[in-house]
A = this chain, B = another copy of it.
Amino acid sequence: MAGNTFGKLFKLTTFGESHGEALGGIVDGCPPGIEIDFQAIHAEMQRRKPGQSSIVTQRQEADEVQFLSGIFEGKTTGTPIGFLIPNTNQKSDDYSHIKETYRPSHADYVYEQKYGIRDYRGGGRSSARETASRVVGGAIAKQIIPNIKINAFVSSVGEIFIDKPYQDLDFSKTESNAVRCPDSATAKKMEAYIKEIKKEGDSVGGTITCVIQNVPIGLGEPVFDKLHAELGKAMLSINAVKGFEFGSGFCGAKMKGSEHNDLYNADGTTKSNLSGGIQGGISNGMDIYFRVAFKPVATLLQKQDVLTTKGEIIEQQGKGRHDPCVVPRAVPIVEAMAALVLADYFLLK
Contact = CB atoms under 8 A, between A and B. Distances in A.
A21 B69 contact: yes
A202 interface: yes
A1 B5 contact: no
A124 interface: yes
B266 A307 contact: yes
Contacts of A298: 257, 260-261
B253 A294 contact: yes
A205 B104 CA distance: 36
Given A15-B69, A224-B237, A79 B125 contact: yes
A332 interface: no
Contacts of A225: 2-3, 237
A84 interface: yes
A300 B255 CA distance: 13
Interface string A293-335: 1111111101011110001110000000000000000000000
Interface string A26-39: 10110011000000
A35 to B, nearest CB: 11
Contacts of A253: 156, 205-207, 242-243, 293-295
Contacts of A264: 102, 104, 109, 305-307, 313
A230 B118 CA distance: 23
A90 to B, nearest CB: 13
A107 B280 contact: yes
Given A222-B79, A254-B158, A304 B263 contact: yes
A250 B113 CA distance: 28
A78 B2 contact: yes
Contacts of A110: 217-218, 279-280, 282-284
Interface stretch (A6-14, A142-150, A168-176): A6-14
Contacts of A200: 258
A122 interface: no
* Most B CB within 10 A of own CB, among A202, A305, A307: A307
Interface in A142-165: 156, 158-159
Given A15-B80, A224-B237, 4 more contacts: A79-B222, A232-B236, A233-B236, A244-B244
9 shortest interchain CB distances as A-B pairs: A107-B280, A3-B221, A3-B225, A243-B245, A15-B82, A203-B257, A233-B233, A264-B307, A257-B296
